[in-house]
Structure 1
Amino acid sequence: MAGRIRTLIARDTYWLGQAQLALGRPAEAEASFTELAACARNIGSSGTFYTAHAWGCLHLARGEYAEARRRLLEGVEIAHALHDPMFETRVLIDLLDARLHGPRDLPAAIGRGERAVEVARGIDYPYLLAGVLEKLARLRDAAGDATTAGRLADEAAVVRGRIR
């Protein structure tokens, strides 16, 4: 029971930090993620995932792209090892930010994006699929592939239309 409670506290702290980031309050998010890291040591692999993803998002928000990329890639590895497609897709979507990749890295990033689309389709979660398609469209556009970017953006709009 205590382990389950620690997991819930860590998960709530993760989401609190994510909300703080979304509201443009990175200092508060950092405090939440520091608390998360302390909680996560006691809950195993899922805690390690939450911590890696949280810090990756914080570094991304701060414009610390190399560190963000490193932490997000760590999150992908952990999620893959946990065999958790939702975790994996959540972190892959953040890796689809073109600011994280130089021109030579774009093909690998696009490959991860295509993997994220496959995973999102497999878990049948349209909100996530639409988000992945939109981010992959932006990444394809940054790589100079406007045709594929347009097709992906159109598909994302169709998926979003079905949600409403």
Structure 2
Amino acid sequence: MDSHNKHARLPGRLVMLGFGSIGQAVVPLLFRHFELEPSQVTVVSRGPDQSGIAEEYGIAYEATPLQEGNLESILDPLLQKGDFLLNLSVDVSSLDLIRYCWRRGILYSTPAPNRGKVFTTTSNCRCRGARITRCARQCWPSASTNATARRPWSRKAPIRAWLPCW
């Protein structure tokens, strides 16, 4: 029996996008700290699980890369209202995933939101939908080059208010 305290129970399914070093490290932590059955967890990653961790924990693994246009066809069979999507992938648009989850009532989390290369959005900005850090440098040069310059945004304002392309 596991001697660790369980901090929460996940009643629905958990889908993890990406299974690189972070995803592989998160799996043992999920089972250690959450009341969770292996049948509730599915990993979607672009390549096969070469680490053997998914098999060791008995979780489903799909080696299917997300590409522009296949987001719904891959995630719809795996997620429904109340489930949880954990994005640990690289170069998959957080904004598109947030929109997808919000429209369906799915919980969403990611350690580092990114614009991603997989999905594109229309942009009026000079950065043409670049990652947010590059956009901040290109669209608001005074904010990134001069630490004492007045910032064009408020920390409390939504991201859309201070980066025109977001």
Name the TM tier (shorter chain).
0.3 to 0.5
Higher strand share: 2
Higher helix share: 1
Question: With CA pairs under 8 Å and 6+ residues apart, which has the higher RCO, 1 or 2?
Answer: 2
Query: How does the TM-score come out when normalised to structure 1?
Result: 0.32
Query: How does the TM-score come out when normalised to structure 2?
Result: 0.32
